[in-house]
Each structure stands twice: as structure tokens, then as C-alpha cells.
Amino acid sequence: MKFEKECWFAAAERVLLTFWVGGSWAIGYLAVPSLFHNLSDRHQAGDLAAPMFSILAIVSLVCLVLLLLVQWQRQSLKHWRSYALVAALLCVAVSFFVLQPQMQALKAIGLVAGSEQASAFGKLHGVSSVLFLISSVLGLALVAVRGRDHSQSNSSR
């Protein structure tokens, strides 16, 4: 029974990591750069990218919380994977609940090149980009190291 439960947790973890990490890399490093490359209007590209990042943030938050629940069920909350998940969750939450609303408010006012609003938007966007990079690299590490970690934990049981 314990083996079946562990198999279910492992499968759930793989699916959740696929949604979160796959979505992050597909949107953040393929779709959005493609928009900015192929559209001549950067504002239009940004307007198309923003909802994709919002949806991705919601999916990421749900997946990260569920991944932490899987870690809790495995009694692995002190494992490095849990710390990586918490760090990624914080990155996504700060970006979604703090930075994105501030950027949307600045865009609603209107961004004029060289203005204080445009400068503030650029700084917020830069912080958001760094948080996204950290989160996506943490996700990549969780995917890349998954096989070795679980084979070690299974052999010690």
C-alpha cells in the first residue's frame, strides 16, 4: 500500500511539474519573445503577453501549492525540493500580487517614453523578469534532479 501511495505521489509530482515548468518555459522563453520579435508594436506585444503571464501565474501558484502538499504528504518538507518550491512560490506570488498590479496601474495611466511612469514600469518589469528567471531555473532544477533524488530515497527504504 505504501508503494502504491508513493507511486501516486511521484506521478502527481511529475504532472504538476510539467504544467508549471513546461508552461513557464513555453510562455516565458518561447511565446512571449516570439511576440516581441514578430510584432512591430512593442505595446501590442506587451498587451498580448500580460494576460499570458497572468494565467501562467495562477497555474503556477496552484501547481506550487499542490507540489508542496505532495512534499508534506511524503513527509519531505525539510528536503531541498521543498525549499526550492517555497522560493519559487514566493517569486510567483510577489510578481503576481505585488508587481503585476503596479505595472498594470502604470500602464493604465499611460506610459510616455522618458517619463517617471515609464521609468518606474521598467524597474518593476526588471524585478519581475529576475523573479521569473529564478522561478524557472528552480523549476528546471526540480525536473532535472528528480530521478536521482527518488531513486536514492527509494533505495534507503
Q: What is the pLDDT along the chain (157 residues), one digit of tens a residue?
A: 666 877 888 899 999 999 999 999 999 999 999 999 999 999 899 999 999 999 999 999 999 999 999 999 888 778 899 999 999 999 999 999 999 999 999 998 888 888 999 999 999 999 999 999 999 999 999 999 964 444 444 444 3
Please tell me the predicted confidence (pLDDT) of residue 114.
Answer: 87
How many folded domains does the chain comprise? 1
Please tell me the predicted confidence (pLDDT) of residue 151.
Answer: 41
pTM: 0.86
Q: Which of 24-36 are b and which e, b meaning 16 or more Cβ less than 10 Å from the residue's Cβ? A: beebbeeebeebe
How far apart CA 23 and CA 26 sit, in angstroms, is 5
How far apart CA 75 and CA 82 sit, in angstroms, is 10
Domain with 98 in it: 2-155
C-alpha cell at 4: 502504491
Cβ atoms of 136 and 93 within 8 Å: the answer is: no
Residue appearing with cell numbers 502604470: 106
